[in-house]
Structure 1
Amino acid sequence: MPLHPAPACVESPSLPPTHPRIHWTTPEGVAASARWRSERGAPAPQRVVMADDTTTADAAYRLACAGTALLWQGDFHNARQLLQAMARRCDATPVRKQRKAAQPVAEHSAGPAGAEAFHKHRQAQAQRARTLGMVLLRFEPDHTLNLRRAPDVQLACTHAWGAPTPGDGDAVASLRELLGFTSAQEWRRVGVEIAALGAAPHNRVFPHYGVFSPVRGEYIDLVAQAPLPQAAAGAALPVFDIGTGTGVLSAVLARRGVGPITATDLDPRALACAQANLAQLGVSDRVTLLQTDLFPPGQAGLVVCNPPWLPARASSPVEHAVYDEGSRMLRGYLNGLAAHLVPGGEGWLILSDLAEHLGLRSRAELLAWMAQAGLKVLGRLDAKPRHSKASNTSDPLHSARSAEVTSLWRLGA
């Protein structure tokens, strides 16, 4: 099957053509405004006050909880310390909950479990994000900060927002989002070592902002170790990588000698990231990138997909790699797989069972979707997670995380 040409992977995030404006009054009583930017889609705050090095964490926390944003005018490092102090207040257990926890077990219920615990945890995280997102910074048109001791954030902001364009003007965004940009920039600079790609230094993947970082190595190891189907073991039968993200699974498969490979994704950021990673790993000649939803045209001997693992609504664009509302991508992959497999081909579904332990999706539902799609299970490889949350007993979802298993389902038509 001829491969389809890769789209131009220009690193320009999908942002609305116009931005709402945020308004405030300066200490001199002058009305001011700037463009509002929020990667998580937060609405522009309606009430904004000025804040500086004299603003206390208690005052800032009270204002933020009441929906008033604080536009920072002081030292940048002091702003970070203020945000950290506000975060401690967000995470502190209220006195009423401390009293309840101190009661004998017989006097109160054991607390929510499963789906209820998950949804309460998500609500708490969303409220925390809203509160901490109320500390704002003003950016110059070239994405720089005019604050004392401000770091150089221009490159990190450019990777998240795109290059500055004439006429942009000043912008206001939250300090919390900026810290996300700079953290992502550090991941992009240092990279993530992938043992399945071989020996250093040619085994690193460099995630871009907004693209899921492959820090969960167990699912990559499963793809590296699973026995190849006979239909894909040759060097001329196509392989599809659905939802490629950083391109790490395509790189692993290319190093295993299969292909040619077509890797798909809807997100331009992911395609730009995959393009860069495949090039620096020396396998770009084996992989064609295609911007499309799920499958490319044609059939393949192996079709790999690692969809988001939790069937819940994403609260920001970055979360779409983790949350798959209504299991849309998972069900789309299962329902379309049989039509895209050559005789003897296999579909590899890489999926955690965390959703099952949280009561968000049952194993019976998953197996029923496979059967309804005309698929049969040829085998399954399992791996326990190695991430720190699996052993963190203070995590609200520890019970589910400690029981989690990641599986590679080998599916046939």
Structure 2
Amino acid sequence: MKFLLQDVRMETSFLTENNFTYGTATKNVTIAVENGIITDIFEKNHAINSSGYTIVNGQNALILPQLREMHIHFDKSKLGLPWSPIEPAKNRVERFTKEFSYLEKAPLDFSNRMKNLINLELDSGVTHFRSHIDIHPLVGQRYLEAAQEVLINYQDKLDYELVAFPQHGLILSNAYGEMKNALQNGANLVGGVDPISIDNNLEQSLNQTFNLATEFDVPIDYHLHERGDAARKAFNKIVTLTEETKWQDKVTISHAYGLRDLDSMERAELLSRLADNQITIISSIPLNFVIPPLTELKKAGVKTLIGCDNIYDCWSPFGNGDVIDKLNRYAEIFDLTSQKDLTESLELVTGKKIITPSGWLKIGMPASFTLVNASSTAEFVARKVPVAASYFKGNKVK
């Protein structure tokens, strides 16, 4: 499709008076899109030859980057099933054992539950997904194959990353062989979970994880719920292996609860090592004391991102599939109330800085972006203004 998106606003700078930032300046632009790529950006009153273009009126909306869901589980959703509360479980092992039994017997099949989850998030404006897919001998490649089959029907609406995730423990469930199969079959990342409290073997579990990553040349997204001394050991081992394998900018640690258990000096030292090795932290913004110190991480130069994680599954009855709701929660928890802080927070769900000298929107980039009827990014985040429209590679999704 070849079209001109007219009358949209881009933020260009912060507006400040007497050291108080009270808003952002914007400029009105027209964006030319062809074959899913931004081919030109025109400022207001610039003469444009519109011959051959379909005209789309942006109605003075604010244009923002593509919204990204960086932590989801396509295979775990109960959306579309009758209400059922969360069963009690003594520990994570009992929880995922019960979960597997429940999902195998669920009266709504994997594909339809996954579609319900994707459609829920598309409706909130998300067009990029990173999903963890359970891989272990009991399920083999079934969940991965089912997810890939569903995603064929969404090629014009979203892009995605699939993480081969040994939920039942890489060592505990003897999943190494199935993990190799998953990476050969199209999984994009290696996952992992709790090398001490689940696998009970820090060295073997993490060594095998990095072996898989380096053999298949893929990034890592590791779920780390470890606490106290176990967290200390796991973080140090992950950083050390990142250094040894030169896997900088290819490692993510999700959850990272144990950062809260380190004293300030030890934490500062670890955060410096995380930043030096370009290790990313992803949080689902839990409403309790285990939430990692995300503002500390950002100040230390550690890349931080947000994902929804549980959306009505066997682990939690909550979740609405709206990453801006999670971002709003993050801003409120960490008391980010200024125009600048709220604006810069959007990077956690887009991966892009909004206000830069040359602007975030570039000629040649995919035409994947978001339109909102808000005066600024700060208002969008703080007031949870609904997404008016989302585009993925030139296709209007919402």
Q: TM-score, normalised by structure 2?
A: 0.28
**More RCO (CA 8 Å, sep 6+):** 2
Larger radius of gyration: 1
| Structure with the higher strand share, 1 or 2 | 2
